[in-house]
Amino acid sequence: MTTRLRDLIGIPGGRARVPTPALIVDVDALEANIAAMAARARTAGLALRPHAKSHKSATIARKQLAAGAVGVCCAKLGEAEALMAAGVRGILVTSPIAMPVLAARAAALAADPGFAIVVDHPDGVAALAAVATDTPLAVLVDVDVGLGRTGVADPAAAVALADAIAAAPGLRFAGLQG
């Protein structure tokens, strides 16, 4: 934060004078929240993979990983590319991939063994299989958990996609996402 912006803290109307977009963080609260969520997941015996779509920050993602997260989620491939370019690893892209141009970008990220992507249609499997390299690409089946946004709607479709992923050279079935 520049001195000019720092001078706006506590000034009436100061927030309205901050050029946007801007990420302004109460670091103490952020670190306390990251620690609390990591502790909660550990106590429950769960692996934590927080979503980076709200902060889109490699610095925050690294803090989450240092606290024990197994990775981070990104809604879009561009977010994953930016975080990976900044050294963040263990990224799961949670939006289903279907377009060949996006599949090629996803395959380029497979050098990180912790990278994974989701599909919810056979076209996504075909697009990823067409660009898969010698490094296996981890692919999850996206399951609709009742929101009607993305994902396969029934168990038979999930099994069919999982089988298609497992049969595709260069792809590795990595589980389900809901």
Residue 134 has which token pair? Answer: 């010698």
Residue 36 lies in a domain: no
Residue 87 lies in a domain: yes
Specify the CATH number for the domain of residue 92: 3.20.20.10
In which domain, by residue range, is 94 found? 48-177
Name 91's Cβ contacts closer than 8 Å, sequence gap at least 6: 71, 72, 73, 74, 80, 83, 84, 109, 112, 114, 115, 116
Q: How many domains does the chain have?
A: 1
Question: Considering only CA atoms, which of 95, 41, 80 is closest in space to residue 64?
Answer: 41
Cβ count within 10 A of residue 74: 25
pLDDT at 79: 96
Question: Considering only CA atoms, which of 129, 119, 74, 79 is closest in space to residue 98?
Answer: 119
Residue numbers in the chain where pLDDT is lower than 70:
1-3
pLDDT at 158: 97
Residue 2 lies in a domain: no
Gap between the Cα atoms of 4 and 23, Å rounded: 15
pLDDT at 50: 96
